[in-house]
């Protein structure tokens, strides 16, 4: 029961339905915006919009899901008085990058997954070439979205968002983490036993999954013209949350219900993935998760009550069943 | 002898060595900048820089070549008084996008090419997963480069560059063109005979190859704060040049020397590619090339002597042997 260890007795809580309906609201809004951005807006232009490619992009990006990263952009921005609607373009951009990464990670040349969110993965529903290109196009369009006036009136803010997202998604972030993940599996040569320890796992997980979660929080701070102190607090929150998210994911892979998750479980151990569970054991991972959630909550102390939704987000990440 | 049809008798010319040394200078400078940007700058940071991924990015981006797109950024910007060094970051960003597209296009799931510029393609030198990720990282870092202060002091200019590059590279440009190219080969279902005509070829080639060439010119205009009229002239030049480049490429695939080209030739006909040669025949393609070069040169008339290097670029594109 991970919930026991992650609820701080003294913490104030909205009713669960309050938090969950807030999460669902943002998910619905970002889905609607992506539908517009990847639909009406992209269907027409000076040049052809190959229907097959657009359909694959829509298939990959409009598959529902919790939309955690957009929620983090919106809730982080809200700390600084930015209205959810004003954070929505940046939120949609982060989600496009997340969705592209799933499409490429699922490819036969990478993790070779056939199922995601209960549906065939994009390359299964289309084909490998279309999936590669749909991923490329989703990544590209994310920067197009960030550059639009609707994202923020000030070009300097938009440029800061571009920098944040590009750094989080690239060599030193998500893509680099995916490579380290494959390397740890022994894909580029046998990994000597005992070489992959806690430090390696923290590094690769914080890049592969953590970087984009952390960037989502940072982008909220950028949209809100946050002070340096506030940025750092939020960054610390995002860092802890990103690791917590990954541990929860690893635990779900081991213990979760494949029906609820909409994908195969117990894949990590089979693939010899370098996970927190592999280095800490199940109980050790659960304890680490609790510490990280407490760390994430503590990082928000200067924001007071305003940050309650972000605190609940941390608890939600630890307790989620799917 | 395409040269006969493409040299306008009245056109003034620098000595061939003058143009070629200018082209070589920019190629050398962009190579040096990419070496720095993908070397020193990327090797160090807060997070790990997986050596294998960085090496694959360097392998893909530091393979020499004419660096035509960077040259177009530099020479277009120069029309408006921008010094080459001030256009170099944008030039490097365009080249990263070009190089990423080659890496992904060469993948087994796409065009399945083993050789490029006389060397094994990136997925042959590394592996498919590393090549996919190196392409992703090169695309991503291009936007990081554009967002940097060194690219231009004014964030509004940097944002305009991001928009231009993202649109040219995405669904309605390069990536969309690559999908149309695969579709025309019959990869997603048999294409009824006679369906692919001149219009289809113009559309797919102008997206697949033309969009980025056109964007390189547009980015020069953006850096130079060009007037609307100047932008349109340059855009017309870029459009004609992009098509001319592709026809010259198609002719080289048919008639070129594989040794000089550093890759296999006669692949297009074998793959059933929808090329200008397939719809116009060799002579028809050669005539179209001459018309496009004349069109490109004419588009620059308002720039007078200042645009001589861009005119020579057009002639160079038509006459190149590799």
B83 contact partners, CB below 8 Å, separation of at least 6: none
Rounded Cα gap, residues A35 and A33, in angstroms: 5
Q: Looking at residue B197, what is its pLDDT?
A: 86
Residues of A in contact with B172 (CB under 8 A): 42, 45-49
For the cut 90, the answer to whether the pLDDT of residue A1 exceeds it is no
Split at pLDDT 50, 70, 90, the class of A2 is very low
Residue A7: is its pLDDT beyond 60? Answer: no
What pLDDT, on the 0 to 100 scale, is given for residue B262?
Answer: 76
What pLDDT score does A9 carry? 44
Q: What is the 3-state secondary structure (H, E, C) of B99-142?
A: HHHHHHHCCCCCCCCCEECCEECHHHHCCHHHHHHHHHHHHHHH
Residue of A70 and A7 predicted with greater confidence:
A70
> Among residues A226, A222, A213, which one has the least CA distance to residue A95?
A213
Q: What is the mean pLDDT of residues A270-294?
A: 89
Question: How many angstroms from the chain centroid is the CA of residue A55?
Answer: 22
> Does the pLDDT at position A150 exceed 60?
yes
The predicted pLDDT at position B83 comes to 97
Mean predicted lDDT score pLDDT of chain A: 90
Helices (H) and strands (E) in chain B, counts: 17, 2
- pLDDT tens digits, one per residue of A213-243: 999 999 999 999 999 999 999 999 999 999 9
By CB neighbour count within 10 A (0-12 exposed, 13-18 middle, 19+ buried), where does B195 fall? exposed
pLDDT tens digit sequence for A176-186 = 999 999 999 88
For residues A305-311, give the mean pLDDT. Answer: 97
> What is the pLDDT confidence band of residue A44, given thresholds at 50, 70 and 90?
low
Among A21-25, A39-43, A289-293, B98-102, the range scoring the smallest mean pLDDT is A39-43
Tokens of A181: 């993940």
Q: Determine the 3-state secondary structure of A115 from DSSP.
A: strand
Select from B57, B130, B171 the Cβ nearest to the Cβ of A137: B171
Domain positions in chain A: 15-319
Q: Given a cut of 80, is residue A112 above it in pLDDT? A: yes
Q: Do A49 and B155 make contact, defined as CB atoms within 8 angstroms? A: no
Locus of tokens 């190089």: B99
Backbone angles phi, psi at B5, to 5 degrees: -80, -15
pLDDT of residue B2: 41
Residues of chain B scoring pLDDT < 50: 1-12, 14
Q: Pick the closest to residue A314 from A244, A234, A239, A210 (CA basis).
A: A244
**Separation between Cα atoms, residue B2 and residue A62, nearest integer Å:** 49
Fold of B15-319: Farnesyl Diphosphate Synthase (1.10.600)
Task: Using DSSP bridges, classify how beta strands A115-116 and B119-120 pair: parallel, antiparallel or unpaired.
Answer: unpaired
CB contact under 8 A, B162 and A147: yes
For A:157-196, CB contacts with B below 8 A are 158-160, 162-163, 165-167, 169-173, 175-176, 178-180, 182-183, 187-188
Q: What does the pLDDT read at residue A41? A: 61
**Hey, which residues 119-138 in chain B have their CB within 8 Å of chain A?**
127-130, 132-133, 135-137
Q: What SS3 state is found at A266?
A: coil
Side-chain half-sphere exposure of B193, counting CA atoms within 13 A = 0
d(CA B53, CA B279): 41
Answer whether B60's CB lies under 8 Å from B98's CB.
no
Neighbours of A112 (CB within 10 A): 13
Q: Return d(Cα A254, Cα A251) in angstroms, integer.
A: 5
| pLDDT at position A11 | 45
pLDDT of A211 over the 90 cut: yes
Query: Closest Cα to residue B215, out of B140, B165, B176?
Result: B165
Contact yes or no for A143 and B127 at CB 8 A: no
Q: Which of A47, A170, A187 sits opposite B173 (nearest CB)?
A: A47
What is the pLDDT, as a whole number, of residue B278? 87
Reduced to 3 states (helix: H, G, I; strand: E, B; else coil), residue A119 is strand
Q: Where are the beta strands (DSSP E) in B80-233?
A: 115-116, 119-120
From B171, which residue of chain A is nearest by alpha-carbon distance?
A: A137
Phi, psi of B24 (to 5 degrees): -65, -35
- Interface mutation target, options B37, B146, B179, B208, chain A, most CBs of A under 10 Å: B179
**Chain A residues touching residue B149 (CB < 8 angstroms):** none
Q: pLDDT grade, residue A253 (50/70/90)?
A: confident
Q: Which residue among A53, A179, A183 places its CB closest to the CB of B176?
A: A53
pLDDT of residue A283: 94
Give which of B39, B42, B104, B34 is closest to B69, Cα–Cα.
Answer: B34
Give contacts of A 29-48 with B, CB under 8 A.
42, 45-48
Residue among B39, B141, B162, B159 at smallest CA distance from B99: B141
In angstroms, rounded to a whole number, what is the distance separating the alpha carbons of residues A63 and A72?
Answer: 19
CA angle B62, B65, B66 (to 5 degrees): 130
Distance CA B239, CA B207 (A): 10
Q: What part of A 81-120 touches B (C-beta under 8 Å)?
A: 104, 107, 109-110
Look up residue A180 and give its two tokens. Answer: 């380290």
In the structure encoding, which two tokens stand for residue A31, read together? Answer: 């889905």
Pick A256 or A102 by higher pLDDT: A102
pLDDT level of residue A193 (50, 70, 90 thresholds): confident
Contact assignment for B107 to A132 by CB distance below 8 Å: yes
pTM (whole model) above 0.90: yes
pLDDT computed for residue A3 by the predictor: 42
Q: What percentage of residues in chain A have a pLDDT greater than 70?
A: 92
A287 touches chain B (CB under 8 A): no
Structure token digits, residue A262 = 């909409």
Nearest to B222 by CA among B94, B95, B73: B73
Partner residues linked to A119 by β-bridges:
A116
């Amino acid at each position: 029961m991970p919930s026991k260890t992650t609820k701080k007795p003294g913490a104030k809580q909205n009713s669960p339905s309050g938090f969950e309906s807030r999460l669902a609201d943002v998910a619905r809004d970002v889905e609607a915006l992506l539908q517009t951005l990847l639909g009406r807006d992209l269907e027409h232009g000076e040049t052809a919009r190959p229907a097959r490619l657009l359909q694959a992009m829509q298939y990959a990006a409009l598959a529902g899901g919790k939309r955690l990263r957009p929620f983090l952009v919106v809730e982080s921005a809200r700390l600084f008085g930015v209205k959810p609607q004003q954070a929505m373009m940046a939120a949609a951009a982060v989600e496009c990058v997340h969705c592209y990464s799933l499409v490429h990670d699922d490819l036969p040349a990478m993790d070779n997954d056939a199922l995601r969110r209960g549906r065939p993965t994009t390359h299964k529903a289309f084909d490998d070439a279309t999936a590669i290109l749909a991923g490329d196009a989703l990544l590209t369009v994310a920067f197009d979205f960030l550059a639009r006036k609707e994202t923020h009136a000030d070009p300097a803010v938009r440029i800061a968002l571009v920098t944040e997202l590009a750094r989080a998604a690239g060599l030193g972030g998500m893509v680099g983490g995916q490579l380290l993940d494959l390397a740890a599996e022994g894909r580029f040569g046998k990994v000597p036993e005992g070489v992959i320890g806690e430090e390696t796992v923290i590094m690769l997980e914080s890049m592969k999954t953590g970087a984009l979660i952390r960037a989502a929080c940072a982008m909220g701070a950028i949209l809100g013209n946050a002070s340096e102190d506030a940025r750092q607090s939020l960054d610390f929150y995002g860092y802890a949350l990103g690791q917590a998210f990954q541990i929860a994911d690893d635990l779900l892979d081991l213990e979760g219900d494949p029906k609820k998750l909409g994908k195969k479980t117990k894949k990590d151990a089979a693939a010899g993935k370098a996970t927190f569970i592999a280095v800490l054991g199940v109980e050790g991972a659960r304890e680490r998760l609790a510490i990280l959630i407490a760390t994430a909550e503590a990082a928000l102390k200067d924001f007071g009550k305003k940050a309650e939704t972000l605190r609940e987000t941390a608890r939600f990440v630890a307790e989620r069943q799917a």
